Amino acid sequence: MALEICCKAAAGAPDILGDCPFSQRVLLSLEEKKIPYELRLIDVSNKPQWFLEVNPEGKVPVIKFEDKWIADSDIITQLLEEKFPEPPLCPPPEFASVGSKIFPSFVKFLKSKDPSDGTEQELLNALSDLEEHLKAHGPYINGDKVTAVDISLAPKLYHLEITLGHFKGWSIPEHFTHVKNYTKLLFSRESFEKTKAEKEHVVAGWAPKVNA
């Protein structure tokens, strides 16, 4: 039986998948594990009553496991790994936090209005760490096998690429050759193509935060 999953709908387009990187992370896990699922899109600016009843916090993504709705992409992906162990996506423990500084430093840099506040350098340092890891262990975080770390990083790198290009005219520097190759590999996977938000929806989703 297909699992039910609720994800964010695009702003102003309730039938189109929205720009939530955490929703995409869960969808990627489902796709990579070939788990059948039924996608329900939620207009987060006007959440339906049934959704708030099963999920009072109103957060997405949420997934229905054995008649219980479960939120939080960390918990959901862990559950999927336990219940559907094949193919395994668990990374080696020592690689579990690779790239974890990229998303917070990207958000800080994206929102920054002061070019000399160090946020760009913080992001470059985080990307440099990823570059060094991929140089030693690539092409994915754990060699040739895709793991949960790649699945978590893929949507975040996609958002980084689109929004920093759009709002700041910034792109990942060319000398990060392994990171560049890594993003190409991730974005070309069938699972990614199927679950990504369109660029204009990513831009629209971040615009209020950038202009705040």
Q: How far apart are CA 63 and CA 114, in angstroms?
A: 40
Nearest to 148 by CA among 96, 208, 83: 96
Q: What are phi and psi of 196, to 5 degrees?
A: -80, 150
List Cα–Cα distances, 66 to 28, 72, 82, in angstroms. Answer: 21, 17, 14
CA atoms within 13 A on the CB side of 20: 23
Catalytic positions, please? 20
Q: What is the maximum span of the chain, computed from C-alpha positions, in angstroms?
A: 53
